[in-house]
Structure 1
């Protein structure tokens, strides 16, 4: 299993190098994210049990990235998100190695991927939490219909079949509203409304507006300058080491790094 995890990590690193090159050539700032920052901080590389790599960007950088990524990716790689494709499974972006196959625990089939999440500006002085309301609706949209027979569920499913039938249309509306709020704000924090673990936890602006580089797997990659403060805010603790029982790779039930996932699906 350790050998398999390392092989997945090396494939993820190949994707990271592609994204890093594109971002540097186009003056786009990104940062390692989540467990990848922990790995860089503690091990100067991937966490030994981690089977993916995560990046994050501010909305300004992210929008510039989305505009160019489809034309910039080398052959054999693809981008998946609600702005560009119909086959999205989340509110954030995946850059995928199409020559590989991974099956996640929930049965989702794809190639090995790198996740990129976006952090938006959220005004501090809002009396009505419009962003939180839209975020909650987004969770309903992404989770989809439920199967129980309660009145509440019937109403939910009806709304999903009518008003919120087009996921992409709603998410674009949500994005537009969040961007409008952020552009008008003089005082604001950042939040991961469109992330892997969508939430409204506030991050200090200084975290996302200053960058440096950090060693990761023998090469320097971009990271927010105050990455320790970022980790403390995200994980709400100062010790980022995980106990032994949590040092497991949770994502995949099947892996084939030589088989294109579209062939596997067929």
Structure 2
């Protein structure tokens, strides 16, 4: 279990700030004709709770690669309120997802002392990439993408909250990558170049490359995302994939059933600082 029992007022305030970030993100998307969808726990929250999962402390959205690249270009300008955290903006950043971060706040996990960037309250922006229609090529693409994801993480941080053997392997990988001075940016460039080989507007399948260190990339049919439904999320309406049922079953199984407390997940933060947005 990776679960932090927040004081109720603190969690509600954190969620309110994440909702503010989401609203600003949606405004940018709508003004620039970009498509987004609620994703992962936030998609589940929209469907099951019409808002946040009660114990959840983050927000997840997902975009197709082309829309995300356009979003990055639009957002690539000075902004007093937000920063887009990505491999392009921070040399130590080690995720294949990006984060829209609220400036002058802190939402830091225990690995923060291993990197040279600050992380504030944010929403996660995942990306959908095309998969090959050829079964063998698709299997190769998934395996190589999984490897890139693990290498990117290992290039910057030592993972300690893993089973012993896995932890030893990741620590060895960390030291080898650092010994040969292989940077996250190098791995990221190779990964993006690899993904471009399979770019196909008519691809049947897409996938989320940015799975966690121990998870295989999530595969979906592109058609699952081709239509949008509008669903209530707290005090706004948000985009969800029309075939959200298939997506949520793929991610969570019987997703309408509340999990027992020992199977609930959120982030174990070292530092949570609301900065100028204090309670």
Partner of 1:5: 11
- Report whether the alignment pairs 1:50 with 2:61: no
- Report whether the alignment pairs 1:18 with 2:27: no
In the aligned structure 2, how far is the partner of 1:105 from the partner of 1:2?
22
Summarize the Cα distance change of 1:153–1:231 in structure 2 as closer, same or farther, 3 Å threshold: closer
Summarize the Cα distance change of 1:10–1:144 in structure 2 as closer, same or farther, 3 Å threshold: same
In the aligned structure 2, how far is the partner of 1:152 from the partner of 1:210?
40
Structure 1 unaligned spans of 5+: 261-266
Partner of 2:147: 136
In the aligned structure 2, how far is the partner of 1:256 from the partner of 1:175?
34
Q: Secondary structure at the match of 1:20?
A: helix
Summarize the Cα distance change of 1:14–1:186 in structure 2 as closer, same or farther, 3 Å threshold: closer
Listed one character per residue, the Cα deviations across residues 161-207 of structure 1 (whole Å, up to 9, x for unaligned) are 43x71321221221122122132x75431111134566333212211
Structure 1 residue 253: Cα displacement:
3.3
TM-score, normalised with respect to structure 2: 0.80
Structure 1 residue 144: Cα displacement:
2.7
Please say if residues 191 and 199 of structure 1, whose CA atoms lie closer than 8 Å, have aligned partners that are also in contact.
Answer: no
In the aligned structure 1, how far is the partner of 2:218 from the partner of 2:265?
26
Please say if residues 51 and 251 of structure 1, whose CA atoms lie closer than 8 Å, have aligned partners that are also in contact.
Answer: no
- Report whether the alignment pairs 1:104 with 2:120: no
Partner of 1:167: 184
TM-score, normalised with respect to structure 1: 0.83
Structure 2 unaligned spans of 5+: 1-6, 160-164
Please say if residues 101 and 259 of structure 1, whose CA atoms lie closer than 8 Å, have aligned partners that are also in contact.
Answer: no
- Report whether the alignment pairs 1:188 with 2:223: no
In the aligned structure 1, how far is the partner of 2:24 from the partner of 2:173?
45
Summarize the Cα distance change of 1:172–1:107 in structure 2 as closer, same or farther, 3 Å threshold: closer
Partner of 1:33: 39
In the aligned structure 2, how far is the partner of 1:13 from the partner of 1:234?
23
Structure 1 residue 17: Cα displacement:
0.9
In the aligned structure 2, how far is the partner of 1:126 from the partner of 1:178?
16
Matches within 5 A, 1:1-266: 1-71=7-77, 74-107=79-112, 110-128=119-137, 129-131=139-141, 132-144=143-155, 157-158=175-176, 161-162=179-180, 165-183=182-200, 186-196=202-212, 199-247=216-264, 249-258=266-275
Q: How many residues align?
A: 256
Structure 1 residue 15: Cα displacement:
0.7
Q: Secondary structure at the match of 1:220?
A: strand
Please say if residues 91 and 196 of structure 1, whose CA atoms lie closer than 8 Å, have aligned partners that are also in contact.
Answer: no
In the aligned structure 2, how far is the partner of 1:20 from the partner of 1:130?
35
Q: Secondary structure at the match of 2:104?
A: strand
Listed one character per residue, the Cα deviations across residues 128-173 of structure 1 (whole Å, up to 9, x for unaligned) are 444222431331232138799x9998788445543x7132122122
Please say if residues 44 and 217 of structure 1, whose CA atoms lie closer than 8 Å, have aligned partners that are also in contact.
Answer: yes
Deviates more, 1:54-63 or 1:3-12: 54-63
Summarize the Cα distance change of 1:76–1:121 in structure 2 as closer, same or farther, 3 Å threshold: same
Summarize the Cα distance change of 1:159–1:102 in structure 2 as closer, same or farther, 3 Å threshold: closer
Please say if residues 92 and 184 of structure 2, whose CA atoms lie closer than 8 Å, have aligned partners that are also in contact.
Answer: no
Deviates more, 1:7-16 or 1:240-249: 240-249
